[in-house]
Amino acid sequence: MKPYLREKKNFGFSDIPESTSFEAGYLVSVNSGWRSIRPVVNMEKCVGCMQCYLYCPDGVISVENKKAVIDYNFCKGCGICHKICKLNAIEMEAER
Amino acid sequence: MAKKFLSGDEAFAEGVRLARPQVISAYPITPQTIVVERLSEMVENGSLKSEFIHVESEHSALSCAIGASAVGARAFTATSSQGLLYMAECLPYASGGRFPIVMMNANRSTALPWNIYGDQRDSISQLDSGWIQAYAENAQEGLDFALMSYYIAEHKDVSTPFMVNLDGFVLTHTYETVDIPIQELADKFLPPYETDNKLDLENPKNMAFSAGPEHNYIFKYKEHKALLNAKKIIKDAEKRFADIFGRKYTGLLETYRTEDADYILITLGSIAGLCREIADKLRAKGKKTGVVRLRYLRPFPTEEIVTAVKNAKAVGVLEKDISFGSEGTVFTNVNSALFQGGIVIPSYNFIGGLGGKNISHEDIENIFYLIENGAERVNFVGIEGGD
Amino acid sequence: MTAKDLSKDEFFYGHKACAGCGGSLAVRNALKVIGKNAFAVLPAGCMSAVGFNFPQLCFANNAIISTFAGTASMLTGIEAGLRAKGITDFTSVGFAGDGGTADIGIQALSGTIDRNDNILYICYDNEAYMNTGIQKSGLTPFGAKTTTTPAGKNIHGNIRPKKNMFEIVSAHNIAYSATASIGYMEDFMNKVKKACGISGTKYIHVIAPCPTGWGIPVSDTVEISREIVDCGLWYLAEYENGEFTLNHDPKEFTDIAEYLKKQSRFRHLTDEDIQIIIKSRDAKWEKIRRDWRR
């Protein structure tokens, strides 16, 4: 369960609900454009300790098969994961 | 149907009981207090099954009611005067969110100077808040509004909160014999509240959100349309009410001997009875007088006013309200209706009853005299020492 | 609770909070602990501003914005409404900032605690009105520079200490209250979990730094929220059954000056100002160690 990107992004008159009530977790835009640097996981070093997952304010890190995986659509590049990782398994690299 | 000798507040509480609100959140304030006292007694003695929340302020009273309505529960609150103003932030919140909360407001003057008696400046100051606003003339109508208001507010074409106004003391504290419908018929009239406009475990929602310039005005347009839709639903509700309970109401306004009237006094609330009495008295003397009582200020009875006064020679508007530096707000609204209807006749504003000042027989006779013979545009009834 | 015990669901996702926002981390993880039956109320403020911009709606669970002053009373209404409708398996949870809690929302919060309504209220404290551009709130600490407490020659930022919300709330004899910091995430999550199992009103006050308002790099949010505890300017504690308990008693405090100097909001402080802060910390801890269970 997680808010996710939807197909329908533009809302005209007839799409606007009657009241201020709408489907929960409806996303129409990503946050990737906010980043100037991006976290990159070093798969050799990562042991899947989940600390980066635990402390990510945006919840964009999941741990799959004992490795951290980052959703770059929504990562803002804050670098908390890089700081929190005791094994230096996440490096911040400049966005091109 | 049982007949009981009740005050306006007590009669209203009986109407609320029949409507079975699931959450009641209210804060005491004179002259509304008796309503919440009776309701808490009903909850205590089991005649009303409802969550009674002892909130610490009126802002919380309405905020709590909004929360309850946002999960699809039927909610009730009541207030008056300073209390209404204190919760004012929540009024457009409730209407913008399209939460069909019913609130009884005991019309009372607003400070300063402090005054606990009745005038209508409190509710009229909130005309633009997006609520339906009705004004009762007597305790029976108050009780009936309590039931009808939920039907209208909760109708899917309306889904808008409803404020029922009772004149402080004159109506809230005056006793009269009232018919109390039986619960079975009340249930037949008012089905349980069903809505999609709610937080829901099966179908999670994000509610009361922000909407930027490209969407915001569409929400507001729809809100306006919903209030206009209420005109039809009010008619439907009254027909349904008459079919079930046998009591008939007349929609957004009530006319009295206006068909052939030359001089018509337009007013609202409990003073209307005296106005009709004086109209009769003047009729006996050969004056063709009539009275229009506005039952609703929102939606505003524009067309109905035009129809009622189209053959008159002059009209007056008597209200317990003044928009300082301008004129009475009801008068402004009535003039707008006259203009839209192409009716070019003299109209005069009579500001009376502020801070509970009595409006006498003589005052109303004099008002009719001034409507016929001409007056200032805005007249303070019975003012002494002014220029 | 550890990271492994957390639900994999993400309930607060795709929001527009600033990079490194402490408040969003507090909301995110609290909801992961509470689960999908959370009915979240967020007043006007940072988290509602970043999470509810139609049609970008960032809560997977039921969530609603309240008036600024009305977080607690709306929680009450939601809880009462659901109960009246026969729904029992839910948590009515509020997330309000420091201003929404200690200033404009304190009356409604007090009312809710007084009635012992079955709700959980979480104050994410970033120590100023950050959403409107870093103005002083009742929880802005002594000495902090904000846009309404400028640091100049005459006045060195905020002249008043933080309101003690934890003890104000506890003085209502609340069912459960606690302090936390997002730097000690497991402790915070445990407290949220514990609160969910208690009937009545629960209050958790969690320090959640705002990099913009505090003047720290966006990557340092978690680190600074550990340091505020380690230097003794915040403490991890609980109140239940009429008693205060200190959860974490540092043998030795880290250097307050070091904590302060990392943040541009404190950079103007003189040695005398820092001495005042140290004295006030020591006085508080003397009382805590004397009066609270450890």
pLDDT at residue A96 above 90? no
Q: Which sequence spans correspond to the domains of chain C?
A: 3-291
pLDDT band at B33 (very low <50, low <70, confident <90, very high): very high
The shortest C-alpha distance from C248 to chain A (Å) reads: 20
pLDDT score at B231: 98
Q: Which of B271, C19, B80, C213 is nearest to A82 (CA)?
A: C19
Q: Name the band, by pLDDT with cuts 50, 70 and 90, for residue B140.
A: very high
Q: What is the average pLDDT across B376-383?
A: 94
Dig out the tokens for B133 from the structure. 């606003």
CA dist list (Å): B351 to B56, B367, B380, C294: 35, 10, 5, 69
Reported as a single tens digit per residue, the pLDDT across B273-330 is 999 999 999 999 999 999 999 999 999 999 999 999 999 999 999 999 999 999 999 9
With an 8 Å Cβ cutoff, is B71 touching chain C? yes
Predicted confidence (pLDDT) at residue A21 exceeds the cutoff of 90: yes
Low-confidence ranges of chain C (pLDDT < 50): none
What is the rounded distance in angstroms from the CA atom of residue B14 to the CA atom of residue B26?
Answer: 16
Q: Inform me whether the pLDDT recorded for B387 exceeds 90.
A: no
Any idea what DSSP says for residue C89?
Answer: S
Contacts of A23 in chain B (CB under 8 A): 203-206
**Most B-contacting residue of C64, C106, C107 (CB-CB within 10 A), to test interface:** C64
Residue B258 vs residues A20, B279, B290, B306, B307: alpha-carbon distances, Å: 43, 10, 5, 12, 10
Name the β-bridge partners of C205: C123, C179
> Which residues in A lie closer than 8 A to residue B206 (C-beta atoms)?
21-26
pLDDT at A62: 97
Q: What's the gap in Å between the CA of A8 and the closest CA on chain C? A: 10
CATH of C3-291 given 3.90.550.10, 3.50.50.60, 3.40.50.970, 3.40.50.300: 3.40.50.970
CB C26, CB C124: distance < 8 Å: yes
Give chain A's domain count: 1
User: C219: which chain A residues are within 8 Å (Cβ-Cβ)?
Assistant: 78-80, 82-83
Contacts of B284 (CB under 8 A, 6+ apart): none
Q: Residues of chain B with pLDDT > 70: what percent?
A: 99
HSE, side-chain direction, 13 A CA sphere, residue C134: 17
Q: Hey, is C268 helix, strand or coil? A: coil
Q: Of A41, A44, A32, A35, nearest to A85 (Cα)?
A: A41
| B209/C81 CB distance under 8 A | no
Cβ–Cβ under 8 Å, residues B124 and B234: no
Determine contact, residues C189/C6, Cβ cutoff 8 Å: yes
Q: Is B369 in contact with B316 (CB distance < 8 Å)?
A: no
Across the interface, do C84 and B68 touch by the CB < 8 Å criterion?
Answer: yes
Question: B208 and C65 in contact by Cβ < 8 A?
Answer: yes
Distance of CA C268 to the CA centre of its chain: 25
Chains contacting C (3+ CB pairs below 8 angstroms): A, B
Looking at residue C20, its pLDDT comes to: 98
In eight-state DSSP terms, residue C253 is P
Asked if A24 lies within 8 A of C57 by C-beta distance, the reply is yes
Is B59 an 8 Å CB contact of chain C?
yes
**pTM for the predicted model, two decimal places:** 0.97
Tokens of B53: 């929340």
- Interface confidence (ipTM) of the complex: 0.97
Q: Domain holding A44: CATH number?
A: 3.30.70.20
Say what percent of chain B tops pLDDT 90. 98
- pLDDT band of residue A70 (cuts 50, 70, 90) is very high
Tell the burial category of C291 from Cβ atoms under 10 Å away from its Cβ (0-12, 13-18, 19+): exposed
Residue of A nearest to B205 (CA): A24
Between chain B and chain C, the number of residue pairs with CB atoms below 8 A apart is 160
CA distance A3 to chain B (A): 11
Q: Which domain holds residue A37?
A: 4-94
Map out the domains of chain B as residue ranges: 2-245, 254-380
Under 8 Å between Cβ of C277 and C157: no
Rounded to a whole number of angstroms, the distance from the CA of A36 to the nearest CA of chain C is 11
The per-residue pLDDT for range A37-63, each reduced to its tens digit, is 999 999 999 999 999 999 999 999 999
Question: Given a cut of 80, is residue B370 above it in pLDDT?
Answer: yes
Continuous segment of H or E residues that includes residue C51: helix C46-51
Residue of B13, B221, B33 lying closest to B130 (CA atoms): B221
Instruction: State the CATH architecture for B254-380.
Output: 3-Layer(aba) Sandwich (3.40)
| Residue that is written with structure tokens 């990737």 in the block | A32
Supply the mean pLDDT for chain B.
97
| CATH architecture of structural domain B2-245 | 3-Layer(aba) Sandwich (3.40)
* Closest approach of A11 to chain B, Cα-based (Å): 8
pLDDT of res. B386:
66
Question: What residues of C are in contact with residue A11 (Cβ under 8 Å)?
Answer: 54-55
If interface means Cβ-Cβ distance under 8 Å, which residues of chain A face chain B?
Answer: 11, 13, 16, 18-26
pLDDT at B385 over 80: no
